[in-house]
Amino acid sequence: MRVGIIGGGLMGREAASAFGRWFALDAKSLPVRAELTAVCDLQTSVVDWFRQVPGVRLLTQDHRELLASPDVDVVYVAVPHHLHEALYLDVLRAGKDLLAEKPFGIDLPAAERISEACASSGRFVRCSSEFPFLPGAQRVIETVRSGRIGKLLEVRSCFWHASDLDPSKPANWKRQVRTCGEIGVMGDLGMHVVHVPFRLGWYPVRVYAQLQKIYTERPDGRGGMAACDTWDNAMLHADIGVEGREVPMRLEMKRLAPGATNTWSLEVLGTDGGARFSTAEPKTLWTFDRIKEQAWSRTDLGFASVFPTITGGIFEPGFPDCFQQMWAAFAAEWAGVLGTKFGCVTPAEAVASHRLFAAALRSHHQKAAIAL
Ligand SMILES: NC(=O)c1ccc[n+]([C@@H]2O[C@H](COP(=O)([O-])OP(=O)(O)OC[C@H]3O[C@@H](n4cnc5c(N)ncnc54)[C@H](O)[C@@H]3O)[C@@H](O)[C@H]2O)c1
């Protein structure tokens, strides 16, 4: 699978790192070799960083040149949200497959147009969301699927950041509606909190949203101030339909979460059992089983990755690992060998996330719960 990257910033470099150590993945379990062959970014300094990456044969500042390359099968596009639609459509028109970054277009209409283009092009398209590939997250999913939790009581899925608590942190494209989208933090962090619930079939039938905008301007990095008009924090109180009942599900997306660096967590509670995992404790799985006494048990996890690697089973995983695992899942599905393993976000799930976030905007505006 020969990959080209459009957008070599934070995530483009992370992807290069994932391909650079692809040999760590067990070839028998994943019979797909991936290599990074081409990179495009508008900035010369960004493009130059990739000169040190083995295997990269094409470096360009024009994405059309990358898309014309016969050395590229799949394109990873990691650019600001207002550019998603145009670049994703160009990728599909060029006959390439796509791993799109979230939120899959700046808003719901853009996501719907992208999704239609995916269907009509027949290309293989998935969207990025890596945390579910961590061993702890997989164990929560397994616990739910095993049926051990009994009747579902509630679900909580969160992604918290704290770096924006510092008002002197300069503005960037993620703080402005024009480039990040009106959905703000939901576009930035939302795909991460809906991926697992959607995959488990938990789609909201109703949502009540609390959105907060705290800092309305930040240093622009040139001595002045820039307006910041996106939502900083979003709490979505949703109902999901499960076995003819409604079950509460809370989705939290926060840029202003005191004490949280990049903390993704998932908690599922049922009448007979429950499971909880947070990246704040990357080795820890908490499980609850209804016995006589009220007790949560703590399991010290190892490196039980979805796709086996050379890494010792007792070692602990981190962000670069789950990001590589997500790419492994993409490659496996691309090659038709994913089987029953957990897969990346589909275009339909991405559109559903936008439908939810658009309803959340309406909910906040009307101060009312919105039916979906
Ligand atoms: N999966 C994750 O965990 C995760 C984390 C952060 C960001 N993201 C997503 O990744 C995407 C990019 O975010 P980022 O933090 O890497 O941004 P970034 O600002 O660090 O990088 C974006 C890069 O895109 C380049 N670019 C802009 N327009 C371009 C064009 N027309 N052609 C080629 N290059 C172009 C910029 O020069 C920049 O280097 C966004 O969709 C964001 O939501 C995902």
Question: What is the predicted pLDDT for the residue at 137?
Answer: 98
> Would you place residue 19 in the very low, low, confident or very high pLDDT band (cuts 50, 70, 90)?
very high
| Confidence band of 33 (pLDDT split at 50, 70, 90) | very high
Rounded distance, CA 5 to CA 28, Å? 26
Mean pLDDT confidence for 356-365: 98
pLDDT of residue 337: 97
| Ligand 1 site, CB within 6 A | 6-11, 40-43, 46, 63, 78-79, 81, 83, 101-102, 128, 130, 188
Label residue 253 by pLDDT band (50, 70, 90).
very high
* Tokens read off for 234: 């979003």
CATH number of 132-315+346-366: 3.30.360.10
d(CA 200, CA 203): 9
Nearest C-alpha to atom 31 of ligand 1 is from which residue? 42
Mutate to test the pocket of ligand 1, among 44, 84, 101 (most ligand atoms within 8 A of CB): 101
Q: How far apart are CA 134 and CA 303, in angstroms?
A: 9
- At 162 the pLDDT is 94
Position 154 scores a pLDDT of 98
76 C-alpha to center of ligand 1: Å? 10
**E strand or H helix at 117, and its extent?**
helix 108-121
Q: In this predicted structure, what is the pLDDT of residue 111?
A: 98
Tokens encoding 173: 């494209």
- The ranges assigned to domains in the chain are 2-127, 132-315+346-366
Each residue of 152-202: pLDDT tens digit? 999 999 999 998 999 999 999 999 999 999 999 999 999 999 999 999 999
In words, the CATH class of domain 2-127 is alpha beta
- pLDDT for 163 equals 85
Ligand 1 nearest-atom number relative to CA 43 = 37
User: pTM score, two decimals?
Assistant: 0.97
CA–centroid distance, 247 to ligand 1, in Å, is: 36
User: Of all atoms in ligand 1, which is nearest to the CA of residue 128?
Assistant: 1
Please choose from 11, 45, 192, 263 the residue to mutate so as to test ligand 1's pocket, defined by most ligand atoms within 8 A of CB. 11
pLDDT tens per residue, range 106-144: 999 999 999 999 999 999 999 999 999 999 999 999 999
Q: Do 2-127 and 132-315+346-366 fold alike per CATH?
A: no
- Other Cβ atoms less than 10 A from the Cβ of 318: the count is 11
CA–centroid distance, 133 to ligand 1, in Å, is: 21
Residue nearest to atom 28 of ligand 1 (CA): 79
